[in-house]
Amino acid sequence: MFWQKRLKNYFIHNKGMDENERLLKKIENKEIEVGVVGLGYVGLPLAVEKAKAGFKTIGFDVQSEKVDLVNKGHNYIGDVVDSDLKKLVEAGMLKATTNFSFVKEVDFIAICVPTPLDKHQQPDISYVKSSTEEIAKYLTKETIVVLESTTYPGTTEELVKTILEKGSGLKCGVDFYLGFSPERVDPGNLIYKTKNTPKVVGGIGKDATEVIAAMYRAVLESDVFEVSSPAIAEMEKILENTYRNINIGLVNELTILCNRMGISIWEVIEAAKSKPYGFQAFYPGPGLGGHCIPLDPYYLSWKAREYGFHTTLIENSMVINDGQARYCAERAAHILSHHKKAVTDSRILVLGIAYKQDIDDYRESPAIRVIQELERAGARVDFYDPWIREYKDHGQVRTGIPKITPQAVAEYDLVIVTTAHSNVDYDMVQKNAQAVFDTKNVMKHLKARENIEVL
């Protein structure tokens, strides 16, 4: 079947065209069939946008639950519009599978799989490796492969290219195109989504870069910035998030100093923001969360050791940010002691499990680490999150209290705000709490502050 597709596509086009021209023409005519490997926070929104742009799309995931949901038109990702997914599935523009043989049917493959850290805080690229090995078994000529998963510089050329060539018997740049285009997903962002966020593309060779960029331009409303190699694009992605990690680390360290000096770091930042140039505001908190900022710097520091280089500034910022959960637990203990209570057996309510406001994503959430620190000290901790009813930690499922009422809040010795959700009645919390530790300064608008301490 797939050979019939290839032959049909070949005879449709001018035989005088070279491979690059044929692919560009197919992109222009929406004749490219798209495959997306990994249907999570990155992959599903990308698959939906490809299909909305007129490209028939097949999504792949190892989790049959996700595949079944997609094929039923049921959405599970906040950044995807429910009705868009349903319409695309019903129109036959988008479907999902757990079978890697779908690779034979597509012309463009985006790899959007997780790249976490292992227990030693080193890059775990096993998902990239295993996905690439499966793709290689079914790879055909004139296929375009793009890695979107965040990773260390060199992954595309050193790992992905080698696996694809060895497993398929094809030659990169001759028989297939390969490149890297880092995902840029900000869950819960009301302005920037997949469709209107600028994209960076770096292919192995100019032809690959041109074709991959053309494919994204055919889908997105945003600019596509072309770079000279996958390694440039990989390093660019690491820079984006390391920049934020370092600046948040600076503010978190200043927060500790300001607390000892009796100075409000929040007022300091607001004052600094009055400068119209040369300053960008970053804010303190209980630590870093999400799929990028807490992890990406570790990828770079790990790779740097291969060159005998230590990323001192980056590593120091990671130490500071990783220590914020413990610092918040220590501050909580001090607050309790001011109320003549010990941490042991104290009842503490943590408000917010999501790693950022108004989303249901708790990956790498610092709130979970704060809870762990408090429980090690002997506290009895509950949580409430209007977006997350339960979460899994080390294989155990923890369920939050169903709702917060004045009576419920009053039962706790301390309430700690760890996520600045907008749909929480903070006025009610302040009025009924015995003590509040606000790590996000979300209660800054409240006039009554006698029981509030801010990070």
Q: Can you give the pLDDT at residue 7? A: 47
422: three-class secondary structure by DSSP: coil
The Cβ-side half-sphere exposure at 269, using a 13 Å CA radius, reads 17
2-228 and 244-454 have identical folds: yes
Alpha helices in 323-365 (DSSP H): 324-338
User: Considering 172, 258, 292, 328, which one is annotated as catalytic?
Assistant: 292
Q: What pLDDT was estimated at residue 13?
A: 47
Read off the tokens for 269.
């930042």
411 Cβ contact list (under 8 Å, min separation 6): 347
The residues near 171 (Cβ < 8 Å, ≥ 6 apart) are: 165
Query: How far apart, in Å, are the Cα atoms of 171 and each of 163, 174, 177?
Result: 11, 5, 9
Residue 172 a catalytic site member = no
Exposed, middle or buried by CB within 10 Å (0-12, 13-18, 19+), for 397?
exposed
The pLDDT assigned to 61 comes to 95
Answer for the pair 361, 290: CB distance below 8 angstroms, yes or no.
yes
Which letter, b or e, does each residue of 128-166 get, where b requires 16 or more Cβ atoms within 10 Å of its Cβ?
Answer: beebbebbbebbbebbbbbbbbbbbbebbbebbbebbbe
From the first residue on, what is the mean pLDDT of each consecutive set of 10 residues in the chain (455 residues)? 49 59 92 96 94 96 95 92 94 96 95 90 92 96 96 96 97 96 90 93 97 96 96 96 96 98 97 97 95 87 93 94 97 95 96 95 95 97 97 92 95 97 96 97 95 96
Task: Please report the pLDDT score of residue 119 as a whole number.
Answer: 82
Would you state the pLDDT for residue 17?
A: 63
Matching CATH number, 2-228, of 3.40.50.1580, 3.30.70.1380, 3.40.50.720, 3.30.160.20: 3.40.50.720
User: How far apart are alpha carbons 89 and 270 in whole angstroms?
Assistant: 47
Give me the residue spans of the domains in the chain.
2-228, 244-454
CATH topology of domain 244-454: Rossmann fold (3.40.50)
Count of Cβ atoms closer than 10 Å to residue 76 Cβ = 15
Give the Cα-Cα-Cα angle 175, 176, 179 (nearest 5 degrees).
150
pLDDT per position as a tens digit, 31-51:
999 999 999 999 999 999 999
Give residue 18's pLDDT. Answer: 79
Predicted pLDDT of residue 10: 47
The answer to whether the CB of 99 falls within 8 A of the CB of 133 is no
| Cα 63 from chain centre | 19
- Dump pLDDT digits (tens) for 324-358: 999 999 999 999 999 999 999 999 999 999 999 99
The predicted structure's pLDDT at residue 243:
95
